[in-house]
Amino acid sequence: MDPITQISVEQIGAGRWRVAWDADCLSEPVRIRAARWPDAMGDLSPLEAVGGWAEVDLPTDWFRPFFCLEPTAGSPMWVAERQVPLAGGVNFRDLGGYRTDDGRRVRWGKLFRSGHLSKLTAGDQDRLDALEIRTVCDFRMAEERATENATIACAPVLETLGIPPGLKDRFFFHRLFEQTDDPAVVVDAMHELMRSLIGESAPHYARLFAVLQQAAAGSVLMNCSAGKERTGVGAALLLLALGVPRETILYDFTLSRRYFPAQTELPRALEKYAVKARPGRDVVALMEPLLVTRESYLEVVLAEIDQHYASDADFLQQALGLTPAARAALRDRYTA
């Protein structure tokens, strides 16, 4: 497994950050440098740490610092807090840092994924501008955008790649929740939905890759309502195209368990799908398959690829139009 999946970065106080790692993934002592942006030389004096963690004091105006970890043996590695700290953001995180099959790593600060942005604060708008987001690929339908409306102050180019939040149409889950009180039925429906994303919705993801190849300088954000399924598959296919191993892709996909606020988002989901309370109905249990990300949701996607295509490369070319040359260009642009 990629060692970066065993490293965490979190802010624990004003200007104070904790960097922690699994003792088996890095040889100690570990030399740590901090910088405002990845690949910088380092803005503060480095420190050495042992015991699997270090706490670092930085200027309080550093919005999102990056840390270069230099183990005694092995290559240096840039890390950052995976979730971008936005007060009104939902499941907003960076796809950077993951190791590819040719030894490169996905560039930090270039590819982001998130749920809806309808609750952004003024401070969030400033932070989005600092992230240099210049292109947004939005997988929501027009009706969803109308009820989860957001204006991004930095005015990125908006590419609408509308994929229904259900099988074939946006009322699929409305009908399902009228017909069943059984969460297992909803899980089965989610599996069918996930399979359809690389079948019926393949043209939308092909358009995503066209946008990624032509996007203006700066960073790209993929988003939908929750940032879990439609965006999750988009992020998975992008990492696959960049050469990130499947086990790491599954790790990133399931991070939505940690970063999607299921309890907070429950009222929005109940309203969106017109789920009504009735005697004997446990609406929390019924909605759980929509709100909590399961490994099986991506596993059925990967199994569908394996069933119908000779390889990942064959799928990327046949279903999404990504030739070897196009994949190489993507790697040159988004990995280093």
pLDDT of residue 42: 62
Number of domains in the chain: 2
Q: Does one domain contain both 273 and 287?
A: yes
Q: Does one domain contain both 236 and 142?
A: yes
Last residue of a domain, one of 15, 49, 81: 81
Query: Lowest-pLDDT range, 13-17, 149-153, 251-255, 320-324?
Result: 149-153
* pLDDT 10s digits, 235-247: 999 999 999 999 9
Q: Does one domain contain both 75 and 89?
A: no
pLDDT of residue 38: 84
CATH number at residue 296: 3.90.190.10
* pLDDT 10s digits, 199-225: 999 999 999 999 999 999 999 999 999
Q: Does one domain contain both 170 and 274?
A: yes
| Domain region containing 271 | 82-334
Number of Cα atoms under 13 Å in the Cβ half of residue 264 = 10
Phi-psi region of 90 (alpha: psi -120 to 50; beta: other; left: phi over 0): beta
CATH number at residue 64: 2.60.40.10
Q: Which tokens hold the place of 41?
A: 């030389």
The structure's pTM equals 0.96
* pLDDT 10s digits, 33-75: 999 988 776 666 789 999 999 999 999 999 899 999 999 998 9
pLDDT of residue 11: 96
Nearest to 191 by CA among 288, 284, 296, 307: 296
User: What whole-number distance in Å separates Cα of residue 19 and Cα of residue 9?
Assistant: 5
Mean pLDDT value across residues 103-132: 94
For residue 286, how many other CB atoms are within 10 A of its CB?
A: 19
Q: Does one domain contain both 98 and 75?
A: no
Q: Provide the Cα torsion 168, 174, 177, 179; round to 10°.
A: -80
Last residue of a domain, one of 46, 81, 116: 81
